[in-house]
Chain A
């Protein structure tokens, strides 16, 4: 059954954080102010690559209303940051490597004074030759951006004998695919409020996807113990991976510590574009061969990822792409190699889909081209080569077994949208012959969690608090995805609490346990698993207390709305009596009753770093309209079959698939942060074009497949990213179906889709002929 409000019945709940968000009442962290606060601003490099020969701050420091001007000399600890590999300077010493590089920062009474102070800072630069192209960066003549060279990371996977494999192929397709530098374009740009306490501690109110990681990195920069820093990190006005890494936090923290005053920073959209992360542009060359029955024999892939000037998670994104260019298919011979390369372009980093978007666009494109060579239906070719349920994963690693691949394929191929393909109804409208429609599809398995070899802790805590609230405490973040709503729904449905019984506490390192990052489609799975672990513990603890007080056996008690109830002999009465309310129970206990759990995200028994254990499967069909007068593409109808285990929160599930697909429409049709000479040409949202509501006129059907094998105890799989990874190749296939043009580069160049001449339309009945 398709997922929608009507079919979800009472499970379709109003989001607890919804009303305040849609009415604008909610204060985000970047809306906060403090009495006596200063405004911080960062001076960034105008050059994509230059040597710094001098920095003079005297004039800026002398300006009335300026309270601090800082440079690299004012960083007491490690002058570097980066989640996986800290190589990005907080404040550059002697060299800048991109136009967002920070050279100095100021704190002043007003924004205007801070801006003027930036203009008074004198920096002498000696421009250096720049590295714009990632393939050029790998050559010997390219300027070397780091002591170890321009290669951040290399990864690959081989099986069999690739040359012999191609020798035995009946058909081979070789193609190069290009994907754009997509921007997260969160509505709330980076920012925060940084407050030094009288006790010497620093409180940071700034959005991030992993408060404890920020705390660790800031402690390293400030050279103070982590316990001296408190990170408050939710609610967040959108992140999509873009706020996982540090952004303004180092400057706010340094300025607040030095001035001993609260400091606020909030990037303009211009500064956000210039300094912030983007999706890695990738060039993916694939050579894929089949025998004459369509069986895959050999698959060779070379990935070049432009990671920009510093590492952040560039290596991890590449690992993910290497895994997903193999995907859910069986090959005899494999040869995949990938390179993540430093350049003087903008920073690339974590972004919803995490290298999967690029990989899957290329891989699925190969199947459509091979099918054409074979004269075979493209989906039939996929089915012929699709993984079996007990096959190992892409890296030959053991994975959690499910029937997901088969299930989503069966659902998609029986969908009315895909069935419409066989309907011979005209593809072109009679009154506008230049409007043509087409239908295409694509398939994926998308990994969740950080993968083997990367610390991926999880956990949480339930407490019957002193005021009688059931407190659910997790180290996860709410950035709009509906984490609070999903957690509340699980507590209601699994434990029997009422909404009013619950208090959810997240996003504050002084309070929450380390639950790992809110990334990689992992948070809902980990909250579900935590609650599975916590339920017997919390029942023992709380119902045990109730049993003592009520003089009843604990085995006859249960949680319910508002308090503890007796488990009645069936049938239960319609109005069961609450034996003791939670506030009464809390009052009768001497102290809060707490249960907690700590565990690790499940990983595969492998040695391949980044290999996943849990996957979400998805098959997507899409109908597009191509206007051959203008080359513009409209997405008319989407169908997503998603096998991700039980639907925890129907509204959240639908929202994630719809939201992910919205980003995929941008990835496919409109979005690219264009750079030239290391400078952004798209500096703002007037040239960087995210899809508007006009691009979303089409309907989206979402078919969740909840069934898991009986012995599976991993519960719901991640859905935060999968909606964003499969649509682009399906759109490319639909365009081919409509107008016979193969797309290899995203966003799609409208000029390719223009009619070659107007003559073909003239044949359609012009009167007077």
Chain B
């Protein structure tokens, strides 16, 4: 906590590095005294609630050009979202909506417009439980970090699997999240859906977040199945067992019934004081089953 000689709180010193390297150097120098900030929307709630102390130094990464906006690699259609890309930019981008419609929907469901103008995709990902994550997971995202040397790449899934317990990434600077749109095989139809269920309809923490993407071929067989769940304090993840089970199966009653049961059995969300685990499991199973039902209809 920034404080004067008498211990009275003072505003942190704010640094404005112009490059990723400069930002990383500052963090390396300041250590725990310095905290990266982008939109600052989550940090503010943590300071206010006492979950985190306001640091002595804030490293504002807003001036670093390479962190801004989506960039397309036209060769393979990969889009690289700079960590500073705001949720509002994602929400309104025709490019995003064309290639990654689930991400558009996710951005629409997070917080409220004024917050989305500040909040960034990088910050939402680094919260570990952000509502963009289930949507991102469908597009096999890769995180690009600056770690002071040659840079580091890792898949979002890989990072999520250890992020909560090994906070070494807090020493690095997230540069971007790269997504690749799924390709559509011939004679197939793709069905996608994103759901966020909260305790109210808008501006609400998620209870269950589900992202769904499948292909259905002309024989009514399922392929390229990508399912992700999250919500609340549950770390979002792909449902690999269910995905493997579904691949090649016909979209019929039997499959839907089995998937419903599998989700109840395998999905292990975290409960809280407001919504128990039992609800989260049932709602998640219902949402995935309902999307299969729509595809099968």
Chain A residues within CB distance 8 Å of chain B: 63-65, 110, 112-113, 115-116, 119, 270, 431-432, 434, 628-632, 634, 669-670, 674, 676, 681, 683-684, 686-687, 689, 691-695, 750-751, 754-755, 757-759, 761-762, 765-769
Q: Establish whether residues B45 and A692, one from each chain, have CB atoms under 8 Å apart when the complex forms.
A: no
* Residues in A whose Cβ lies below 8 Å from that of B286: 434, 628-630, 754-755, 758
Cβ-defined contact, A629 with B287, below 8 A: yes
Q: Which of A65, A431, A681, A691 contacts B273 (CB 8 A)?
A: A681
B223 touches A (CB below 8 Å): no
Report if A751-B279 is in contact (Cβ < 8 Å); known contacts: A434-B286, A767-B297, A768-B250.
yes
Binds A, one of B23-31, B127-135, B166-174, B201-209: B201-209
Residues of the A chain whose Cβ atoms lie less than 8 Å from the Cβ of B256? 758, 762, 766
Question: Shortest beta-carbon distance, B288 to chain A, in Å?
Answer: 10
Least CB separation from A672: chain B residue: B274
Contact B205 A686 (CB under 8 A): yes
**B184 CB within 8 Å of chain A:** no
Would A769 and B276 count as touching, CB distance under 8 A? no
* Chain B neighbourhood of A751, CB < 8 A: 275-276, 278-279, 282
Q: A629-B290, A692-B203, A768-B250 are in contact. Are A758 and B285 (CB under 8 A)?
A: yes
Given the known A-B contacts A694-B201, A751-B278, are A767 and B220 also in contact in the complex, defined by CB atoms under 8 Å? yes
**A116-B7, A116-B9, A758-B256 known; A695 and B201 CB under 8 Å?**
yes
Task: Please report the C-alpha to C-alpha distance between residue A758 and residue B275 in the assembled complex, in whole angstroms.
Answer: 21
Q: A632-B201, A751-B282, A762-B293 given. 18 additional CB < 8 A pairs?
A: A110-B8, A116-B3, A270-B48, A431-B297, A631-B283, A670-B199, A676-B273, A684-B49, A689-B200, A694-B203, A695-B200, A750-B275, A758-B285, A761-B290, A767-B220, A768-B251, A768-B252, A769-B252
Residue of B nearest to A665 (CB): B200
Distance to closest chain B CB from A705 (angstroms): 33
Q: A743: shortest Cβ distance to chain B, in Å?
A: 16
Interface string of B205-238 (1 = CB under 8 A from A): 1001000000000001000000000000000000
Residues in A with CB closer than 8 Å to B251 are 766-768
Contact between chains at B293 and A629 (CB < 8 Å): no
Distance in angstroms from A515 CB to nearest chain B CB is: 38
B253 proximal to A (CB < 8 A):
yes
Nearest A residue (CB) for B7:
A116
B200–A670 CB distance below 8 A: yes
Neighbour of A692 across the interface among B197, B202, B273, CB < 8 A: B202
Residues of A within 8 A of B273 (CB): 674, 676, 681
Bound CA span A313–B203, Å: 34
How many residues on B have C-beta within 8 angstroms of the other chain's C-beta atoms? 44
State whether B283 touches A630 (Cβ < 8 A): yes
Q: Could you say which residues of chain A place their CB within 8 Å of the CB of B278?
A: 751
Chain A residues with Cβ under 8 A from B283's Cβ? 629-631, 750, 754
Check A689/B204 contact, CB under 8 A, given A115-B9, A674-B274. Answer: yes
A669-B200 contact given A754-B279, A766-B256, CB 8 Å threshold: yes
In the assembly, what is the distance between CA of A691 and CA of B204, in Å? 10
Alpha-carbon distance between A769 and B290 when the two chains are bound, in angstroms: 17
State whether A768 and B220 are in contact (beta carbons under 8 Å apart), knowing that A684-B49, A694-B201 are contacts in the complex. Answer: yes
B220 CB, nearest partner CB in chain A, Å: 5
List 6 A–B pairs whose Cβ atoms lie within 8 Å, in order of A's numbering: A434-B290, A630-B197, A630-B208, A694-B203, A761-B289, A765-B297
Partner of A754, one of B10, B257, B274, B282: B282
Enumerate chain A residues within 8 angstroms of B289, measured Cβ to Cβ.
Answer: 758, 761
Q: Closest 5 A-B residue pairs measured CB to CB?
A: A694-B201, A694-B202, A629-B286, A751-B279, A116-B8
**What CA separation (Å) do A750 and B204 show in the bound complex?**
15
CB-defined interface of B252-281 with A at 8 Å, one 1/0 digit per residue?
110011001000000000000111101100
Residues of A within 8 Å of B294, CB to CB, are 431
- B253/A769 in contact, CB under 8 A: yes
B239 CB, min distance to chain A CBs, angstroms: 16
B163 at the interface (CB under 8 A from A): no
Determine the chain A residues whose CB is within 8 A of the CB of B45 once the complex forms: 686
How far in angstroms is the closest Cβ of chain A from B176? Answer: 29
- A694 touching B200 in the complex, CB below 8 Å, given contacts A115-B9, A434-B290: yes
Q: In the docked arrangement, what's the CA distance between A695 and B252, Å?
A: 35
Q: Is the CB of A687 within 8 A of B274?
A: yes
Q: Which residue of A lies closest to B296 (CB)?
A: A766
Residues of chain A within 8 A of B293, CB atoms compared: 758, 761-762, 766
Distance between A53 CB and nearest chain B CB, rounded to angstroms: 25
Check if B150 is an interface residue, CB within 8 A of chain A.
Answer: no
Cα distance A474–B108 in the bound complex, in angstroms: 48
- Cβ-defined partner of B10 (8 Å) among A64, A112, A681, A692: A112
**Whole-angstrom distance between the Cβ of A551 and the nearest chain B Cβ:** 65
Given A116-B9, A686-B205, A759 and B200 contact (CB-CB distance below 8 Å) = no
When C-beta atoms are compared, the residue in chain B nearest to A109 turns out to be: B8
Give the chain A neighbours of B186 by CB distance below 8 A.
none
Residues on A with C-beta less than 8 A from B183 are none
- Complex CA gap A154/B208 in Å reads 44
Name the B residues within 8 Å of A115 (CB-CB): 9
Q: Tell me whether B200 and A692 are in contact (CB under 8 A).
A: yes
Nearest residue, chain A, Cβ from B291: A629
Chain A nearest CB from B256 CB (Å) reads 6
Distance, CA A684 to CA B47, complexed state (A)? 13
Closest chain B CB from A697 CB (angstroms): 8
The residues of B that contact A761 with a CB separation of less than 8 Å are 289-290, 293
Chain B residues numbered 1-18 whose CB sits less than 8 Å from any CB in chain A: 3, 6-10
Q: Which residues of B contact A65 (CB under 8 A)?
A: 8
Within the complex, the shortest CB–CB distance from A46 to chain B, in Å, comes to 12
Question: Which of chain B's residues have a CB closer than 8 A to the CB of A63?
Answer: 6, 8
A270: chain B residues at CB < 8 Å are 48
A contact residues around B202 at 8 Å (CB): 692-695
A768 touches B296 (CB 8 A): yes
Residues in B neighbouring A110, C-beta threshold 8 A: 8
Residue from A65, A116, A694, A768 with most neighbouring chain B CB atoms (10 Å): A768
Closest to A64 in B: B6
Cα distance, A434 to B279, chains bound together (Å): 16
Q: Which of A631, A683, A694, A762 has the most CB of B within 10 A?
A: A762
* Cβ-defined contact, B48 with A634, below 8 A: no
Q: Is A691's CB under 8 angstroms from B200's CB?
A: yes
Which residues from A are CB-within-8-Å of B260? 757-758
**What chain B residues lie within 8 Å of A686 (beta carbons)?**
45, 205
Expressed in whole angstroms, the minimum distance between the Cβ of A180 and any Cβ of chain B is: 12
State in angstroms the CA–CA spacing of A74 and B76 once bound together: 75
Give A761's nearest chain B residue, CB to CB.
B293
Distance from B242 Cβ to chain A, minimum over Cβ atoms (Å): 14
- Residues from chain B with a CB closer than 8 A to the CB of A755 are 286
Residues in B whose Cβ lies below 8 Å from that of A64: 6
- In the complex, what residues of A have CB within 8 A of residue B6's CB? 63-64, 116
Give, as a whole number of angstroms, the nearest-CB distance from A760 to chain B: 11
A353 CA to B6 CA, complexed, in Å: 49
From known contacts A695-B200, A766-B297, infer whether A631 and B250 are also in contact, taking CB-CB under 8 Å: no
List the A side residues contacting B257 at CB < 8 Å. 758-759, 762
Binary per-residue interface labels of chain B (101-133) against chain A in the complex, 1 for a CB within 8 Å, 0 otherwise: 000000000000000000000000000000000
Q: Closest chain B residue to A268 by CB distance?
A: B48
Interface string of B45-68 (1 = CB under 8 A from A): 100110000000000000000000
Output the nearest chain A residue to B9 by Cβ-Cβ distance.
Answer: A112
Residue of A nearest to B250 (CB): A768
CB distance from A675 to the nearest CB of B (A): 10
CB–CB A766/B274 < 8 A: no
Query: Across the interface, which residues of A come within 8 angstroms of B48, CB to CB?
Result: 270, 684
Instruction: Tell me the bound Cα distance from A465 to B231 in angstroms.
Output: 63
User: Given contacts A754-B279, A762-B256, A762-B257, is CB(A687)–CB(B200) below 8 Å?
Assistant: no
A631 to B197, CA, bound (A): 10
Q: Specify the chain A residue showing the minimal Cβ separation from B10.
A: A112
Q: Which residue of B lies closest to A675 (CB)?
A: B273
In whole angstroms, what is the CA distance A676 to B272 when docked? 13
Which of B45, B200, B252, B260 has the most chain A CB atoms closer than 10 A to its own CB? B200
